[in-house]
Amino acid sequence: MPAFTPAQLAALVDADHGLLSPRIFQDQAIYQQELERVFTRCWLFLAHESQLKQPGDFFATYMAEDPVLVVRQKDGSIKAFLNQCRHRGMRLCRADSGNAKAFTCSYHGWSYDMGGNLAEVPFEKEAYGQVDKARWSPRRVPRVEVYKGLVFGCWDADVPSVTEYLGDMAWYVDMFLDRLPGGTEAVGGVHKWVIRCNWKFAAEQFCSDMYHAPFSHSSPVLASLPPDIDLSQAGWPMQGKQFSSPLGHGTGFFMDTPEFMFPLLGETAAGYYLQSSAAAAERLGDMRAQRINGAHMTVFPTLSFLPGINTLRVWHPRGPNEIEVWAWTLVDKAAPAEVKEAYRKAVLRTFSPGGILEQDDGENWTEIQKVLRGHMARQQPFNAQMGLGMDRSDDPDLPGRIGYVYGELAARGMYRRWAQVMGAQSWAELAPRGLGEVASNG
C-alpha cells in the first residue's frame, strides 16, 4: 500500500489555517500508516514503575496493537519484548500481570526467560537437533526508559531520549509526577474499557480542549456542588492558559482557582492537594505547585492525564474506529493512606468507565465517529481555528508557546506533528523540525 506523502498529508491537516479533514479519523489506509510510523517511532507509555517492584514482576500491555511484556530484571533494569511465541505466534503470556521466572507458551511449550530469551524447546534434540535460540527469541523493544516513574518504550532505536522527546512539556508533566519526594505510585489496579472512536479524538481533547468542559460536563459538576451553593453564582473559571509543543504535546489549565478541585475530588483528596502545595512549591515553584489548577495533558501520541485529579490513561488504538482505554490512578507516594483511598474513589466517581464525566466524553467521541460514516459528513473540514494567531512565545511565567485556556493552539500543534511523523521516513528527518527548533504552532 503506497504511503501518504507529505503533500497529501498537508492537504488533510492544514494547521496554519486550522482545518482538519475528517478522513484522518476514519480512513483505514491512514490508520495502517499510523501503525507503521507513529506507533513504531514515538515513545509509548508501558507501565508505572510501582507495578514492577521486584525482579520477575511483569505487566502485559500493548504498543498500539502489538502485545508486549514489560519485565523487571534481576539487575533492576526493565526490559520489554513482543508477547509472541516465535514458534507459531501464540500469545506467550496470557496473564495481565504477576511475577515469573520464565514464560512458557501454552501451545507447544517453548519457554523464554524473563529477559525474553528463548531458553528451552521441548523435544529439541529429537525433533530439531539444535535450535538457534538467539535467532528465535521474541522481538525486543530496543529502547526502554523511565521518566519519573513512567516506563516508556519505543520500537525505533534512533528515537531521542524521553527527556529530549518531552522538551518543554517536561516542565508541565513534572507538576504531576514530581510534586513531593518519592514521586508517585499507582493504586487501585488498571481499568479497561472500549470506546468506538478514533484515538485522536481522545488524545486531542486531553491535549487542548478545555472548551468542551462548560458544556459537556456542566450537569455532573453542578450536581457535585454543596447543596447550599447558589447555582446562579456558579460558573466555570475563565482565567487560564494553554501550552503547545512543536513535538505534538499539549496542556491547558486554569489559574488561581483551587476551589475548582473540591466538587471533583471531595474534601479529603482536594484538601490534601491544597495543603501539600506549599511543600510541592519547594520542588516546583509557586506557579506549578499552587497557581495552576484543573490541568489536562497529552504526551504525543496517546498518553493523557489530569494532574490534581490524578487519572492517567493510554488510548490503545483498535482500528480507525475504536480505542481500548487503559486508566490508572496515580497518587503521591508520600500521601497518607486515607488520601490515597480518597483519590481512588474520586477517580472511580469521575473518570472511570462509569464516571460521571468520563461518560460525557465517550458519548461525544462515539457520536462523532457515527456521523463520519456518512459520505457527505466526511467531506466537511473540521474547524480548529480557536485562538488562531493569538498565541505568544514570551510568556513571563510559562515556557513554550502559550495561548488562552479556551483555545485550539495545542490541537493544531498535535495535528501538525502527526502529519510530520506520518510523512517522515526516519528520525533524521523529524529531529530538525522538533528537537532544537521551536516553530510556531499557529
Q: Point out the residues that are catalytic.
A: 108, 209, 212, 217, 361
Helix 169-177 to helix 277-284 angle, to the nearest 10 degrees?
140
What b/e string do you get for 384-418 counting C-beta neighbours within 10 Å, with b at 16 or more? bebbbeebeeeeeebbbbbbbbbbbbbbbbbbbbb
First to last CA, the chain: 32
Residues with Cβ within 8 Å of residue 81, at least 6 apart in sequence = 68, 69, 71, 116, 137, 138, 139, 140, 141
Residues with Cβ within 8 Å of residue 196, at least 6 apart in sequence = 321, 322, 366, 369
Quote the strand ranges of 311-372, DSSP E. Answer: 311-317, 323-332
**Gap between the Cα atoms of 163 and 26, Å rounded:** 32
Helix 409-423 to helix 199-208 angle, to the nearest 10 degrees?
140
∠ CA 296-283-171, nearest 5°, is 40
Beta bridge partners of 193: 325
253 grid coordinates: 489549565
338 grid coordinates: 486515607
**Gap between the Cα atoms of 393 and 168, Å rounded:** 12
Cis preceding linkage at 2, omega within 30: no
What are residue 256's phi and psi, to 5 degrees?
A: 60, 40
**Gap between the Cα atoms of 245 and 167, Å rounded:** 8
**Gap between the Cα atoms of 296 and 102, Å rounded:** 39
138 grid coordinates: 521474541
∠ CA 430-431-434, nearest 5°, is 90
Eight-state DSSP code of residue 160? P
Express the helix, strand and coil content of the chain in percent, nearest 5 each: 35, 25, 40
